Structures are given as C-alpha cells and as structure tokens.
Structure 1
Amino acid sequence: MTDAAPLSGVVPPVCTPLTPDREVDTASLTRLVDHLLDGGVNGLFVLGSSSEAAFLPDRHRRTVLDTVLGHVAGRVPVLAGVIDMTAPRVVDHVRAAVRAGADGIVATAPFYTRTHPSEIAVHFRTIAAHADVPLYAYDLPVSVHSKLTADLLLDLAAEGVLGGLKDSSGDEAGLREVILGRRDRDLPAFSVLTGSELTVDSALWMGADGVVPGLGNVDPHGYVRLYQAAARGDWETARAEQERLFRLFRLVHVGGPHMGRGSSALGAFKAALFLRGVIDHPTTALPQIPLDDDDISQVRKYLSEAALI
C-alpha cells in the first residue's frame, strides 16, 4: 500500500446503469457521474453492492472501470471494488483495477469458503501485496457471513495493509470500537467510512470520516449538505438533513413482498435516477425481479415529497 491522505466526505457507491438487453449503458453512466460530481461528492466507489458488482461479468466490470475513470480524469478519487470469493480471484480484479487507474481498491472478507480470522488476515495481506494503491476493507457480514473485528482491522492498519474501512455491518458499537481504537493506537491515516445511509449524523459525531451511501446516487446534494453541516459542528442542521434522507430512504421498500430486499432497493435507486432524468433505463441485472409500474409510481411519490422532482 502506498501512503495517501485519509479519505473523507461523501463517496457514493455508483449504480451501474444497464440497457434493456443488460449491457452497461455508458452514456447513462457518465451522466450519473456528472450528477454525483455536480452534487459535490468527495469521491466515487464503483463495483460495490449498489453497483450490482455481484451480477456483472468481468467484461462489464472492465467497462465500468474504463468509463468512470476515463470520465472522472482525476477530479476526485475513485475506489474500485475487487470483490470475489477468495484471494486468488480477487487479485485478478486488483490487477484490472490498478491497470485502469483506480485510486484505491475495496475488498470484503472471503466468502462461500469457511475461513478463520487468521485466514481473513492472510486474505487482506495477499490482496495488498498485489496493489500499489490503498486497500479498504468492506465489512459486510450480511453477504459474506464474517464480521471483521476491530482488533483485526486495526492490526492490519498498523501493519500498513489497510488504508481504511467501509463499515456496512450495522453494528454501531463495533464502529465506535474501531474509531476509538484508531485514536488509541494513533492511526490517523486509517479512514473510517460508514455505509449506513440512515445514521450518518451519528457516525460522523462519533468520529467517522465520511459516508458511502447508496441513496447518495439519488440525492448526492443531500448527503453533501449533511456532511458539511457536521464538519462545521452544526449538528442540528445535520440531524434535520439526516431525517429528510431517512424518509426518502423508505423508497427501497416499494417492492414489498413480491421481490427480494436487494432487488427492491436497487430497483428503487435506478427508478429514481430514471425519473430524475439521470439514466435512460431502470433495468436491473438478472436474476433480480424488476419493479412494476405501481412500484415506480411509489418511487415517484417519495421523490416528489423530497422535492427532487
């Protein structure tokens, strides 16, 4: 890992617009990037969960990398997800991301295989050894079925293996333990980013450096306002903005009982971007069930209530 300033601010996990025949819609993708940059975001994260990375074949991943990195052209840092089951597979993605010019890479613990914490440490060390950009650990136990402990993360940070954390564990006490441990162990370069759209004000108050919000695709300006209010110590304004975004986030449930939670959320993000005129199609990757017309009408209602259309 190379030395770099700690990442902070609003770093949305960029959705991957698709055409009706499920190719990457590069024209919509560049408009989405412009929408996020116009919102004042501090960085971008491609090929994460909100990017539908788990559904994208490798050629689509490469298209996303080349399109976004070429369009951003160094204006903000771009992190690239290199998520796969085990270290040898992840390393292939690392090579592609570094070759494309990514400023950092993001990896989960191994999954499908059953691994011990000591093997998870080897996993991250192996990935870092094949990259000359910062490596961010993505704590996502709901998907990978392993929780990254504070001790593991901080030990790897002290070794120079990890440059930061995207915490999507939903464990607020665990997040606080990492933040306190970073201070106690004098690791100021280790970035701590929350992945929860709903408790950003609380995470920033605890000392987190920023947020990676899927809903930030839909309303980047709102998350930037929240972050800036917190940065200047205006916690009342930060709370009010968080509460507005909390209400807007209810759009992820429009799919109700007729599809999976992930399908509903990703479909809602894309429907919102379509309704806002940012992307051309709200298509989601197979085998996700698409939103129907009634679902999209509900998304429109939430956008209207949030004064976004």
Structure 2
Amino acid sequence: MNISAIIKLTVSMALFGSIGFFTVHTGIPAIELVFVRCICATLFLGGMWLATGSHRTEVWQRQELIRTLLCGIFIVLNWVFLFKAFEEMSISIAISIYNLAPIFVLLLGAIVLKEKMTIQALVATITCFIGSLFVIGLQNFISLSEFMQSGFVWALLSAIFYALTMLTSKTITKLSSYALTYIQTTVGIVMLLPFVDFSVFEGLTTTNWLFILGTGFIHTGFVYYLFFDSIRSLSTILVSVLVFVDPVVAILLDMLLLDFMPSLMQTIGIVLIFGGIFYTIYIPKRKKTLLE
C-alpha cells in the first residue's frame, strides 16, 4: 500500500472540500471566479508541467487533442454551474447533488456507450434520485419559479457536466495529466473572457482576494497536482472511497463555520444519495475482487 499516495489524495480531497467555504467569501460571481481560477491554475500547472519535464515527452494526436478541448469545455461549465449553485443554496445541499456525477456516468455509459446496466445500478440510481428530492425539499417542486430559484438546476447541471468530463477524460490516454489540465484551464480562459464583467473586481477587500486566489492556486493548481500525482499509484477502489473525504469536509465546514443545519428530511436525503453512490462505486467492485 502506497501510504504517501494515500496521504496526498486524502489531503487533496480535504482541501477541495473547502472550496464552497472559499467561494462564498470571494465576493464575485461564478463566471468571474472560474475565470480567475483558470488563470491561476494555468500558471501553476503550466509551471509544474515544465518543471517535471513532461512537456518534452508528450505524445500529441489530433483526435485526442480535440477530445481534450471538448473535455475542457465540459469541466469549465461544471465549475461555473457548481459555483452558481453555491450562490443559490447551502454548500451541503449543492455538494450532495454535485456528487451524483458517478450515477450520471453510469446512465450516460448505458445510453451513449451501450454499456450494460445492472439491477443493482438501477436501484442505486433510484435511491439517489429519491435522496435528491428529499435534499432540495419537495415543496420546491410545487412551483416552477421556486424550483428554478432553488439552485437545484445549477447543481444538477454541474453534476452532469462533471460526468461528461469523466467520460471524455477516460478516452484520453496519451497526454500527461499536466498537459490535459493545462489545456483545459487554457480553454476556460478563452471561453469565459467575453463574458467576464471586470467591474466586479473593483472594491474587493484583501480578504476577498485571498479567497479568490486560494480557489485558483490551492483548489485547482495544488489540489490537481496532488490528485494526479497520487491516483496512478492507487487502486480504483481506494480512490473511489477516498473521494468521499471531499463532501464530508464540505458538509462539516458548512455546519461548523456557516451555521447550516439540515432538516430531518435533508439528512435522510444526503444519506440516501451517498449510500447510493457508495454502493454504485464500491460494493460491485468489492464483489468482483472477492470473486477473483
């Protein structure tokens, strides 16, 4: 067991779990925050790419480069929608819905890639769906306007685009992790530049800037470095379990620092969502491993 890799992945997930707390203290909207985040991450990861010498050994293929650019669009939209969700709802609720991404990977794999969907996967999907209804609050589904203002749509879109990012990135095998992420964040800069309102940066406090730069250099640059540096040394099962550190930290910070307290129904919903996700990711693989 690679203890160093386990520590790196755990630290990266714990740090990423604090991104919601950082986001609400930046004082700027989602698009502008993602734009700055892409700039910081491009500088950090580009520097790491050069420092490690990976740029000298890259294998460039036209089709893979196109998929990387598409993956960049997906991941940027994922970030924008997630931060929009943080603006409309509590971090705990947004993160719970956001972490439905593995379920969407399963569904999209069955629809697009014609992969077989088991009864267990279907049960887990239904469980997560019911959990999401409990989390957002059934009363918000009575009125369309209340539903749209709840932030549920933004969180759901962030999960869908995260799933698309995961599915697309699975097809990219030649490029190094640094090259992949560097291209993605560069795509984000170009993609968001026409929509950025630079006036929102006027009058920001030093604290605001510390949180803004933190989301860029820490949550994107440093976290991505730790993440990619660790996952290649760990089993898929271990990675799948350790990523749960992210939502746990996010929910704890939301409760301890932002005074969020879920209702009984929301608590049940959160348990159903993560129970369904954990079962989808971990249990089937565990059974397969035992049979082997």
TM-score (norm 1): 0.27
Higher relative contact order (CA 8 A, sep 6+): 2
Higher strand share: 1
Greater helix content: 2
